[in-house]
Structure 1
Amino acid sequence: MTRRLSSSTRSPTEDSIFLRPDEDPVWLDEPTKAEKTGDGAPKKDRLPERKDGPAGRQGPQGEEVFMHKVYALLIEFQRWAALFVVSQVTVVHMVCKWRYGTGLWSSGTVSREIGDRRQSVSRQPSFTLSEWTDAQEDLLDLEPIPQTPVFDLGGDTRTEGDAATLTVTPVGLQERRGSNVSLTLDMCTPGCTEPYGYGGQLSPREQSAQEYLREGTHILNPAMLHTRAMDDQSLQAEFYETPMNFVDPKEYNYPGLVRKNRYKTILPNTHSRVILKAQDEEDFLFSYINANYLNGYGGEERAYIATQGPTVNTVGDFWRMVWQERSPIIVMITNLEEKNEKCAEYWPEDTVTHEGIEITVVSVTQEDDYSLRVFTLKCGEEERSLRQYWYTSWPDQKTPDKAPPLLELVQEVERAREEAPPSSGPIIVHCSAGIGRTGCFIATSVLCKQLRSEGVVDILRTTCQLRLDRGGMIQTCEQYQFVHHVLSLYEKQLSHTAEE
């Protein structure tokens, strides 16, 4: 309680509480001299008598006891509140340490790291409004093994298309593609239990996906093609309903195989993979290459080979495949580096020998959007010619800024294929993973032939056929839309030529 000085002890100055030098302070709540006993001891607990009146007021000492109790309660409440706050802070600190590997006091670092990651994986598209991410690689390893490209959940906007335009029943949510969840389902779904997938049993979900890929179709005449190319929502719905058909990594559980794959979960489908010849047929590593045969227009078998960009460890395997398959043309649709390594420089400046194959550069021609290298391959007494078209104007997991250069490249490759010897084998196409840009190029090449021959295109059917042989072909929704735009432009060019 606050003690008050008696007014008699104040100085003449108003509101002053200073004492005169010769005065002792007299407290209002201290017993006076008259209230003290003769022996100088104050009387004990002299409380003024009161009667419980209507107001029921307490005396001064009762009020003091009451205030002490209130004060004690406030102190106790504050103590428990402080303990509660400390406990909550401790819990939050433990959660942050478990979730992010750092404490609460490092939350600024965590936020900055998460922000940096989102900034690194989110990019504005060059062609449509779709968003996709880059492949994330562990840059700390001396020989990093790139990770699978991660699909951005923010771009996974799924709108339902017109069911009447499709001839198959849309599959369930788990079959939709373009998100981390769907990719995880692809990679973790139990698949074939025997080596190479022979004799394995497909799950109901996988059977549904295979049925969709075998039967999916959507034929477009020129007018429908032009309209469809501008309908982004319908194209997104169609893309996400189409199964990716990725391979379960457990099907390739072989020691040492990881060094032969650029991306851990982008693997060749077993039934159509390219098998390199080996003296020992049981030497799986020597016969393995991450590549698949793909059919061309009209069911032409093994018209193309889709493969990953060679790594330092697989350059020799790549040239063995080129020689074994008698390929006359290589189409390369990637830069050597795009934030990280996308492809090893597998060709020489002049001459080099890989696996007994001598590769010699004959000429290099630089065009506006691609370069053309002509090689001479020699193995033993046999000598062949090989062309490499290196298209550099196509960013990873995105689309070119302009469609005409891609159409020109497709037509140039077709002319070169017609000029190749009749005994020539498939055209080899690769980007980095061998599914995104590679899928767009092969699909465009097949569909241009269909448009010229039939006057219609079935982009959905072609996509399904490609994915049956190599999972993930035409990797992003943006790329799927771009193929529609390219075919729409090509049809207009054909119509304009016909009118002239």
Structure 2
Amino acid sequence: MRDVGLETESSMDAMCSYLPLMCFLLFIQATEGFSGDNDHFMAIHYRKSGRPRFIYHRVQSIEKSLDLNRQLSDHNFNTPAHLHVGKFLPAGFDKAAFPRSHNRAQNLLAPSDTDVKVENLPIPQANVILVMLKMDVNKLNTTLLRKFRQGVAAALGLSPQQVHINRLNGRKNCVELFISPLNKKIGVPEALPSAEVLRSLNLHTLHQRLSHFGITEVSAEKNVLQGQHEADKLWTKEGFYTIVIFLSIFVIIVTCLMVLYRLKEKIQFSLRQDKKNQEIHLSPLPAQPTQSQAKRPSSMVQHEHIPKAVNVVVDPQCQGTFEIRPPLSAGPSPFKMKPVGLQERRGSNVSLTLDMSSLGMAEPFNVVPTPREKVAIEYLQSATRVLTRQKLRNIVQTSHLLHTEFMEIPMNFLDPKELNIPSHGTKNRYKTILPNPVSRVCLKTKNANDALSSYINANYIRGYGGGEKAFIATQGPMINTVNDFWQMVWQEDVPVIVMITKLKEKNEKCVLYWPEKRGIYGGVEVLVNSVKECDYYTIRNLTLKQGSQSRTVKHYWYTSWPDHKTPDSAQPLLQLMLDVQEDKKNFSGRGPVVVHCSAGIGRTGCFISTSIGCCQLKEKGVVDVLNIVCQLRMDRGGMVQTSEQYQFVHHALNLYESRLSEENVQ
């Protein structure tokens, strides 16, 4: 019994010796529960792969305690606002995917943390945790690193041996760590995913244990997959709508361009078909017209029936003689001619019968205008729309109506084949802009057989009230036509020259055809007496001499009008027009005013039509721009070249009408 009593006494002594240790462990366990750590672990289960995983029990009660602890931490412990965890930290703790040691007994019995060092291992970025510090990381010694490691381990509920300091990043002033599993193999760098580690981080414990380090942020290192995920965020709803709108605008633009291209092709095809349908009808004219022929419409100019063939003979000096000859025979003509491609809206509508007597016994033949050609000529001769002052003010506000009206006016260009002058193309600046034969200016030459010497690309233009030869519209002189130009100025006794073009606008528009002081051009000597620079144009007073005779000519050079466009303001054009009209009054009895741009139809047509329209407004109080442009195109094809120029003429006349109204009020 004594032995039993001694054994019992020794057992009680051993239990009393272990009792303080057990109480201490229970105290630690209770303290950890208040700090917010999870302390309800039942066991460690292993998967087939051998990787440990904690199985949580009573998850609902744990989450409630964590929410309560987080509220207490926010209200009582005053965690700093700048301390936050990266995007991987949720509101509560999730079920951890890596093993942790929450047993303080295990932590106390673990080996001492004496081997702290910076490991610098090739750890994947997805497993690296960055801890940003206020303290300079370069000043962390072994003792501070040991405390830092222990604090992180306590916040994670792990053993310090599972926390590894991988690198001290001086550029970001942070400590890079990774967490290893419990069953880490020796010499093999293993690390748990940083996202799972951060889910189990206790901020209160971390701040309490490492407050003197000044932790500002704890986050996972950005990896390649994360960057790709952020790049995918660019495909937001707004970005998708932006791309859809951009593609829609692109499709609309491409569709419009295709429609315009198809319209252009359709117009060109229509013009080609019109040319193919135009023919020269070869038929003899009988001496006595039949009843059917009497009903057939005749020429647009000569409205009476022509009983006999009209033969037109044109000599090189442009002196046309008309003869009436009976046909030689009533039989069919032995000659057939290919169509010469009469262009729609040609200049002359006179039905011509060519004299073929030089070919032997061939009979003369008729050139009959096509129906489309007749319609064009009738339109140019009859089109009219009189505008009162109020209507003029209203119509300048409706540009689409003016555009539609302009597009209906026939251009009346001349086909090059209709101009029977050899090598005339050498004197044309543009091969499609040719003078109408009926109104073209012919130069007087000594050699009557040299038709080319009498040719110049210029036309007489009727003025206000149909006054003959009020203007001469011509192209800008070329290097080989400067002498012809000054010969025309002398021959027609021109008092004023109006030049509405620069010498070069991308390409050459006109050559410098006047001298700096004195020059001789063919048989005409040109002297520059004075030069006056105005705001928008330059005025030169010239003296022309030929033999013992001399004349005074005024030259206006307007340079503020772009080609195929219109000036920003009509004011300079009106001032130029008024100056020219004043000079024309001073030179009463002299010849026409020469106006030219580059081709002699666009800006030239605008100036002349504006001048005629101003006279019409001043004399009658109304203006008929449509009729004025049609009259100009009868004299020279293509006058007023674009719809914008046609609208500009209306704006200029409206401005002139405002001036007249102000003068009447005064």
CA contact (8 A) 2:419 2:437 kept: no
CA pair 156-392 structure 1, distance change in 2 beyond 3 A: farther
Q: Among residues 199, 202, 220, which one is paired with 2:387 in the alignment?
A: 220
Q: Among residues 606, 618, 621, which one is paired with 1:440 in the alignment?
A: 606
CA contact (8 A) 1:192 1:251 kept: no
Q: Residue 28 of structure 1 aligns with which residue?
A: none
SS in 1 for 2:438: helix
In structure 2, how many angstroms separate the alpha carbons of the residues matched to 1:234 and 1:393? 27
CA contact (8 A) 2:441 2:456 kept: yes
Please state if 1:347 is matched with 2:347.
no
Q: Residue 479 of structure 2 aligns with which residue?
A: 312
CA contact (8 A) 2:501 2:558 kept: yes
Please state if 1:383 is matched with 2:521.
no
SS in 1 for 2:616: helix
Q: Deviations over 1:101-131 (max 9, x none)?
A: xxxxxxxxxxxxxxxxxxxxxxxxxxxxxxx
Q: Among residues 622, 636, 639, which one is paired with 1:470 in the alignment?
A: 636
Shift of 1:234: 0.9
Unaligned runs of 5+ in 1: 1-152, 159-173
SS in 1 for 2:402: helix
Q: Residue 427 of structure 2 aligns with which residue?
A: 260
SS in 2 for 1:373: strand
Q: Among residues 176, 194, 203, which one is paired with 2:370 in the alignment?
A: 203
1:95-244 equivalences in 2 (<5 Å): 199=352, 200-244=367-411
In structure 1, how many angstroms separate the alpha carbons of the residues matched to 2:613 and 2:530? 31
CA pair 449-204 structure 1, distance change in 2 beyond 3 A: same
CA contact (8 A) 1:186 1:247 kept: no
Q: Based on CA coordinates, which of the two structures has the bigger radius of gyration?
A: 2
CA pair 421-220 structure 1, distance change in 2 beyond 3 A: closer
User: What CA RMSD, in Å, does the superposition of the two structures yield over aligned residues?
Assistant: 2.7
1:314-463 equivalences in 2 (<5 Å): 314-422=481-589, 424-463=590-629
Unaligned runs of 5+ in 2: 1-258, 282-311, 315-347, 353-366
CA contact (8 A) 2:422 2:451 kept: no
One-letter amino acid of the structure 2 residue matched with residue 282 of structure 1 = N
Scaled by the length of structure 1, the TM-score of the pair is: 0.62
Please state if 1:274 is matched with 2:455.
no
Scaled by the length of structure 2, the TM-score of the pair is: 0.47
CA contact (8 A) 1:188 1:248 kept: no
Count of equivalent residues: 330
Segment drifting more, 255-264 vs 217-226: 255-264
Please state if 1:497 is matched with 2:658.
no
Larger RCO (alpha carbons 8 Å, 6+ apart): 1
In structure 1, how many angstroms separate the alpha carbons of the residues matched to 2:262 and 2:474? 27
Larger strand percent: 2
Q: Among residues 418, 443, 460, which one is paired with 1:251 in the alignment?
A: 418
SS in 1 for 2:556: strand
In structure 1, how many angstroms separate the alpha carbons of the residues matched to 2:485 and 2:530? 21
One-letter amino acid of the structure 2 residue matched with residue 467 of structure 1 = R
In structure 2, how many angstroms separate the alpha carbons of the residues matched to 1:242 and 1:220? 17
One-letter amino acid of the structure 1 residue matched with residue 541 of structure 2 = V
Q: Residue 9 of structure 1 aligns with which residue?
A: none
CA pair 334-461 structure 1, distance change in 2 beyond 3 A: same
Shift of 1:255: 3.6
Shift of 1:318: 0.4
One-letter amino acid of the structure 2 residue matched with residue 384 of structure 1 = R
Q: Deviations over 1:312-343 (max 9, x none)?
A: 01001101100000000000000000000000
Shift of 1:230: 1.1
SS in 2 for 1:271: coil
Q: Deviations over 1:414-472 (max 9, x none)?
A: 001111142x1000000000000000000000000000000000000000000000000
Q: Residue 27 of structure 2 aligns with which residue?
A: none
One-letter amino acid of the structure 1 residue matched with residue 569 of structure 2 = K
Q: Deviations over 1:342-374 (max 9, x none)?
A: 001100111111111100111110000000011
Shift of 1:261: 0.1
Runs of 4+ in 1 over 3 A off after TM superposition: 153-158, 179-198
In structure 2, how many angstroms separate the alpha carbons of the residues matched to 1:246 and 1:490? 31
In structure 1, how many angstroms separate the alpha carbons of the residues matched to 2:569 and 2:480? 34
One-letter amino acid of the structure 2 residue matched with residue 499 of structure 1 = V
Shift of 1:192: 7.8
One-letter amino acid of the structure 1 residue matched with residue 625 of structure 2 = I
One-letter amino acid of the structure 1 residue matched with residue 565 of structure 2 = K
CA pair 364-400 structure 1, distance change in 2 beyond 3 A: same
CA contact (8 A) 2:498 2:555 kept: yes
In structure 2, how many angstroms separate the alpha carbons of the residues matched to 1:348 and 1:456? 42
In structure 2, how many angstroms separate the alpha carbons of the residues matched to 1:436 and 1:183? 22
Shift of 1:252: 2.4
Q: Percent identity?
A: 53
Q: Among residues 440, 460, 471, which one is paired with 1:293 in the alignment?
A: 460
Q: Residue 78 of structure 1 aligns with which residue?
A: none
SS in 1 for 2:623: coil
One-letter amino acid of the structure 2 residue matched with residue 449 of structure 1 = C
In structure 1, how many angstroms separate the alpha carbons of the residues matched to 2:276 and 2:429? 19
SS in 2 for 1:270: coil
In structure 1, how many angstroms separate the alpha carbons of the residues matched to 2:568 and 2:275? 32
Shift of 1:156: 12
CA pair 223-203 structure 1, distance change in 2 beyond 3 A: same
SS in 1 for 2:497: strand
CA pair 187-409 structure 1, distance change in 2 beyond 3 A: farther
Shift of 1:184: 6.5
Q: Among residues 465, 480, 487, which one is paired with 2:646 in the alignment?
A: 480
CA pair 487-282 structure 1, distance change in 2 beyond 3 A: same
Q: Deviations over 1:127-151 (max 9, x none)?
A: xxxxxxxxxxxxxxxxxxxxxxxxx
In structure 1, how many angstroms separate the alpha carbons of the residues matched to 2:263 and 2:416? 28
Q: Deviations over 1:278-331 (max 9, x none)?
A: 122231100000000011001111000000000001001101100000000000
CA pair 340-288 structure 1, distance change in 2 beyond 3 A: same
In structure 2, how many angstroms separate the alpha carbons of the residues matched to 1:185 and 1:274? 33
CA contact (8 A) 2:531 2:539 kept: yes
One-letter amino acid of the structure 1 residue matched with residue 436 of structure 2 = N
CA pair 421-219 structure 1, distance change in 2 beyond 3 A: closer
One-letter amino acid of the structure 1 residue matched with residue 447 of structure 2 = D
